[in-house]
Each structure stands twice: as structure tokens, then as C-alpha cells.
Amino acid sequence: MAWLEPFRDGVGELSREGEVLGHLASVVTWFWSPFSPHRRQAWVWLVAVWADRTREGSIEDYPPWSYVLEMTQGFIECDEWSIERRGRYEFRWLRTDRAAELRAALAIEPRDF
């Protein structure tokens, strides 16, 4: 599943009209599906951290991939975030080195997912 590679410890920008309003961090984990018990399924977890450093609870995505597909198209529309932050955002991945730097600066850790 090479197409999921950007989601492995990835970080991207959430913006509207060119203004960066926060960041979205991701990880890929695996689970066994009862519908496909002989094959592991990928599972993507996302955490938004806003410019004021507040965080949303983690959200998950798995086949048929709603958030993942949106993000590969350059946006995310989330109704699972706090009421004032719900809606559509432009999304852009950061370079790997910048993503790692930002994860550390924002103290994004595995327990956040």
C-alpha cells in the first residue's frame, strides 16, 4: 500500500484561503477485519493541532477511505472536530524533515492517536 506512505508519521497543514490554521498529524496502524480474516487492513489515525495549540480528539479512517481520499485530493472536510472548527480545509503535506520537526515542537506522540 505505497499510496498510504505519506500517512506514516505524516504532518500536513490545514488552511483556508491561504491562511494556515493548524496541522494534521497521521499514523498508519493495522487491524484484522472480520470480513477479511486472513488479511491485515490498514487503519489511518489523524489528530488535528490548531495554531493556538488546542487539539482535537483522534479520528480514524479505514476502507473505504473517506478522509484519506479527500486528503490525497488536497482537502479534508471533517464534522468530527469541535463545532467551531468543523468544515472543509485545504490540506497540504509537509516535507518529511519538516514534519518530524513539527511533531516534536507540537509534542505529538503515539498516545495522541
Instruction: Tell me the residue range of the domain where 32 lies.
Output: 2-112
Type of residue found at 89 = Y
pTM over the 0.85 mark? yes
Residue 38: what pLDDT? 76
The pLDDT tens digits of the residues spanning 7-29 come to: 999 999 999 999 999 999 999 99
DSSP label of 55: B
Average pLDDT value for residue range 55-78: 95
Closest alpha carbon to 30 in 67, 62, 58:
62
Residue 113: what pLDDT? 83
Q: In what order do the strands lie in the sheet with 59-61?
A: 59-61, 36-50, 19-33, 11-16, 87-93, 75-78
User: Residue 71's CB: how many other CB atoms inside 10 A?
Assistant: 24
Q: How far apart are CA 4 and CA 54, in angstroms?
A: 26
**Into how many domains does the chain fold?**
1
Residue 86: what pLDDT? 97
Residue 57: what pLDDT? 94
